[in-house]
Structure 1
């Protein structure tokens, strides 16, 4: 499986404000790039925090890209995956509609009633006792034929994926904004590393939408 983390952050490294409100950091050119990344993926992955904050649909926006997927024998949209240890995803969430197959990854600790409610709208993957075991969850996704994964956030999930050694590439658009705030989410939150820091190799640098797009490979 190949895992690409994609994010847009401010010049000071924030994904959104301290209120966890979605902020337009990039522009049309980056939106088109992200849409292409989605179209080229087998699945798009987010954490439950992103679902609760933004209620994303996680579908391909460009009809031409959807047609291209159909021509290649694929569904119009990639599968959608929510990492949700406690099964907090609302049944009304956009990501649970019928636009694409949705998987929700939960832990054994998730309440049975909430798991049952989610199972009416999505395929559940149970992995881990208190928190989702990402290695097991991604292995289960791979068994479903998912080989190329795009991760769209948030910071807690991104850190956990780096911690699990699952990230292959990191694409970051750095926009011309300063957001600030000690409590504003950053690219990789979680507990943070104190040793064995993941090493990155810079691939490409591109000026885009008044900012810069950085593409990194995770060193072996």
Structure 2
């Protein structure tokens, strides 16, 4: 595992890595936002390896609704690795949703994984009397820079390493608050096209002067896919 220290104060927040597969034209789904199942079995192995390194996985409600499930760690070697590192058998799966509006019948809720929810006070009422979530973190997701506060709370709860699995709106929000440290992007041999097809970073976007600059750490090709590992370049004041 490659670990970096870029003058980031991890004493107050988790170390974060975005892990996404995208088409050759930079889309993470088609224009209907269908579940993105275009990655190869090798990409799934790569995803599981990266997920096995972290304390928790964070993803938006749109991602949960699209897939209805998540990827648990099943590889015996990776499970043993986690045990040796004194980690839970499975990373905590953290859903973020302002509305809390998703079905409790999704297969996600029958998987043998720990589940947390980040939501608003109003939406938390939908789930507080149920048993699906081990922990519900209540916050104002509309406020300015809410993720600084949320990440401080996650750190206090023992989350030191965090994987971000999408969607693009969540990644954009975290980039805006300078809370992304690394990215793993798998480039897959398919083109979706279309102005409405989602990309790894959604939202309004950033002007060139505010763009996030990256440093390429490694490039690996497996058959028809390319695995790109970046770290976010930070100024000395970050």
Q: TM-score, normalized by length of structure 1?
A: 0.91
Number of equivalent positions: 218
* Counterpart check, 1:4 vs 2:17: yes
Cα deviation for residue 136 of structure 1 reads 1.6
Matched, 1:166 2:162: no
SS of equivalent to 1:114 = coil
Q: In the alignment, is residue 147 of structure 1 matched against residue 160 of structure 2?
A: yes
User: Which of these residues, 142, 158, 163, is aligned with residue 130 of structure 1?
Assistant: 142
The whole-number CA distance in structure 1 between the counterparts of 2:183 and 2:33 is: 22
Q: Does 1:204 align with 2:218?
A: yes
Q: How many angstroms apart in 1 are the aligned matches of 2:22 and 2:136? A: 31
**How many Å separate the matches in 2 of 1:158 and 1:182?**
19
Structure 1 residues 134 and 58: alpha-carbon distance in aligned structure 2, compared to 1, 3 A threshold: farther
Alignment of 1:23-172 (within 5 A): 23-97=36-110, 99-108=112-121, 110-111=122-123, 113-117=125-129, 120-122=131-133, 123-128=135-140, 130=142, 133-172=146-185
CA distance in 2, matches of 1:190, 1:72: 37
- Distance, in Å, in 2 between the alignment partners of 1:72 and 1:208 is 28
What is the match of residue 10 of structure 2? none
Offset, 1:57:
2.2
2:210 partner SS = coil
| Structure 2 gaps, min length 5 | 1-13
User: Residues of 2 paired with 1:129 and 1:72: CA distance?
Assistant: 33
Q: How far did residue 165 of structure 1 move?
A: 0.8
RMSD over aligned CA atoms reads 1.9
**Structure 1 counterpart of 2:11:** none
Relative to structure 1, the CA distance from residue 96 to residue 170 in structure 2 (aligned partners, 3 Å threshold; closer, same or farther) is same
Please give the TM-score of this superposition, normalised by the length of structure 2.
0.84
Kindly state the Cα deviation for residue 114 of structure 1 after the two structures are TM-superposed: 1.6
Counterpart secondary structure, 2:230: strand
